[in-house]
Structure 1
Amino acid sequence: MWLQKLVYIANGWNLAINREPLTGARVEAWDGGPVYRTIWNHLRDFGSDRKTRLLCDNEGQPFEADLAPGETSVIQHVWDRYGSFTGSELSRMTHQEGTPWSNAYFGKGQNAPLSEADIQQHFIELALAGRS
């Protein structure tokens, strides 16, 4: 849950700031909040060591991503701002009324895709309200 929420938040901030998604994966409105099915499918195979095994190679070295400088800045900001939150805390943030998750979940139903435009607008509104 924790990694799913951080990816969602990073993608939202990147949409708001750089006007581009960080991932081409579709995000869905699951009971547990915004979920990238591709990440969920990958993580379910890793068991309790999922964070380390997902992010590191067999020698324990972190994978590197080919990111633009603006994307790197967004990810660093998200990590600095949200990385210490628990999965439950992040889930409460994404489950609030009026969020893209609640709009999709209660408007279209469980597992409905979240609108990229809705995600972008939500994070623009957070930025304008000074809520990074």
Structure 2
Amino acid sequence: MATVHDVAAYILLKAAPMSAMKLQKLCYFSYGYHLAWEDRPLFAERFEAWANGPVAPELYSRHRGRFELKRGDIEGDPAELDDQEKESVDIVLENMRVYSAHELSEMTHRTGPWVEARGRAQVPDLERSNEPLLDEDIADFFGALAEHEEHND
């Protein structure tokens, strides 16, 4: 199975440069849609409900203190992704790379797994939380999004 670092390296290979925040959000959307489409996680690492949206702490530790990331800045192996994993990430990039990091972050704040995790943690806006996002919530949310998008095509 690929790691969050492999997926991040693949995203940077395809779409760098970008901000660290945008990379986090693209990893999150890739994870969510892949879970909904393929019924399996894209990687084993979890997302937490941080103040600015879902964050994979293991990935954050690799880019902490950096604003912009280029190809090769995240140590990972894009070749670890199988064809279905690459396809999921490619579709997300095709549809979401046009959005800014802040727009992607706003999308995670409206409803869904991040909001639910923040509610479980009972933390106010802008307060730090390491409450995990649950795969069940992510699968339900992105499954409903994918179904809605399919009906609107």
Q: So what's the TM-score if we normalise by structure 2?
A: 0.74
For the residues of structure 2 that align with 1:21 and 1:4, how far apart are their CA atoms? Answer: 16
| Residue from 109, 124, 138 that aligns with 1:119 | 138
2:81 equivalent in structure 1: 67
Gaps of at least 5 residues in structure 2 are 1-20, 123-128
How far does the alpha carbon of each residue in 1:23-52 deviate from its partner, in whole angstroms, 9 at most, with x for none?
Answer: 11111000000000001111016x345333
Say yes or no: does 1:108 pair with 2:124.
Answer: no
- Equivalenced residues, count: 125
- Tell me which of 6, 11, 14 is aligned to 2:31: 11
Deviations 1:80-101 (A, max 9, x none): 000121000000101113x100
Q: Secondary structure at the match of 2:36?
A: helix
RMSD of Structure 2 on Structure 1 (CA): 2.1
Which residue matches 1:30? 50
1:44-97 deviation line (CA, Å, top 9, x unaligned)? 16x34533342579xxxxx53322211111111000000121000000101113
Paired residues of 1:13 and 1:74 also in contact (CA < 8 A) = yes
Kept in 2: contact 1:104–1:113 (CA 8 A): yes
Matched, 1:81 2:95: yes
Q: Which runs of 4+ in 1 moved over 4 A?
A: none
Provide structure 1 residue ranges, at least 5 long, that are not aligned to the other structure. 58-62
The equivalent residue for 2:17 is none
Given the alignment, which residue of 59, 63, 67 partners 1:39? 59
Identical columns (%) = 33
**TM-score of the pair, normalised by structure 1:** 0.85
User: Which residue identity lines up with residue 130 of structure 2 in the other structure?
Assistant: N
Amino acid at match of 2:51: D
Contact 1:28 1:37 in 2 (8 A): yes
